Structure 1
């Protein structure tokens, strides 16, 4: 059943009677209360204000953290199950427990299950990004308190951090406050796409942060193959703020999207041969691309390598994988982007701080959201939509 709800429906109705009723509904096993429904929130712009639904308005102090929770688990190879008695995660001294309100869906979520990777054992909980409220803090955590609205990006090796469960536990340095300009539901797309775009550019590809100054007046070009992807949308804007010209490759349906986000030139791939695409990219940039990101796959990674400078040093991030047999030109450095470093290396928090400044200042246009109701019972439906593709730049977010 498909239903479109206005944004104002997420706000208000704050009586504690309503809240208690909602919490009972969240925890019930009734399939009728969990039936998937989807809706679309369009045009979440930089002037948006934080949206809080009635469950997000609940102070954690007003209810008791349960002994068990509901989780969508990968029970065995390629098979999901809803567990209503999944153990509650414990909280270490420097960790935070978050009660989930919104979960972002990403290609890695279905690929890891379909191809059986990033699953240390069975049953396991997947899911890499979410927004919610702090439910409990460890004894060593001083900068957050119960009830704070937050977002996070998680690491697959800790089952407590899998986002497809009602409560997640993560290291405190990976928990970020939701900027005042970011709607609660939109914060669920920051942990993968926004963080990947910013870290790829700033950490691996050497793009200067927007606040820094550079004496290098030489024209610089970044190629983004897959400009309409959510990661591509964030990367286009971040690079543009740093004074780097961006050329993206899109379908004709999403050309205007990348143009509106600041791409200097959009190459429309429809009806063109691979050779024509490469020739157009090189002609537009005068063969001066020194940074490139591929967000599609091994074939387009090869085309991206054909499009970059033949003489200047080039930094390339094949985010959607590259063939192990791919021949790489001598002037190209291929960077393996490991987003787990955000969790494993606390020094990478500086990148989320810079990202947070851009968001708080309202400089970044957020992606259009396609909201899916039904909680954990609707995650598989959403992953199926993601797998089929053609979302035209929309981000899938599940309302928990």
Structure 2
């Protein structure tokens, strides 16, 4: 038991230490405004987004400090998405409504829509934004300015995640926990290795020439997890990518129900953690560092177990405060980690609906 508890302490201490280092690295991210003749094309793929598209476009139009255009790709919507955008475009020449062509065989839906958005964009930079994201007025300016200042071909950020229900608290916080607790940001910025490529598909800015030279979304046409996959494709093509703090650049409420969150995170799990070699390793790291210490507390409240539990909670608290997530979600921390692992294992073992992946009603075979 002593050896096990010491192992748990190490597994809890690793993400705690890395989170401290990562937050220090990110705190030194420069805030450089765009320079020269910069035009940011804000590109929004939209499929049945009548509830979201109006506020998303309004937030994009409020951008300051840089010239913008807003292109919305209506991708086979059966609701009022197109009508809403068409009405808004009639009063603002910066808005363009595009109709997506039929989905080409071998492509996934969102990637297909983003590819065709890029073909119509006129900007020096493309800012891909999900319809449930609300940009702040300085987001386009600072993201394009950061790309220019650092030479990065792709700059991404995780928007501030809005969570209002226990179902969201059990799923959404895993995004920032995994990024800040397990991705060494210093190495990501120092090394061009594709393995350090990471991005959030909700909010990604790319430099036009780098996007074209890397193959853009066409190079990942059959994939779903566009954040990770596009960042790695850029790096394989010789372009650096970067992640910057996003809690003051945009906000997003991804899901409102637990079932939607489960299905949403399942759709790209097989391109992330849910792999035969990777998932057992992740299970040891996450279960040992964030779940077992709490499970053992009533049985063996020794100093390594107590320390491991406190370190795990400290890690989660640091991430939550830094990203301005709902602090109530900290109370469910070990259950959030368990839920994340359950999603990944259900996809790897192809249990139930996890046998199929998809986006907005489209289904694709997994693996």
Scaled by the length of structure 1, what TM-score is found?
0.28
Scaled by the length of structure 2, what TM-score is found?
0.29
Structure showing greater relative contact order (alpha-carbon pairs closer than 8 Å, 6 or more residues apart): 2
User: By percentage of residues, which structure has more strand?
Assistant: 1
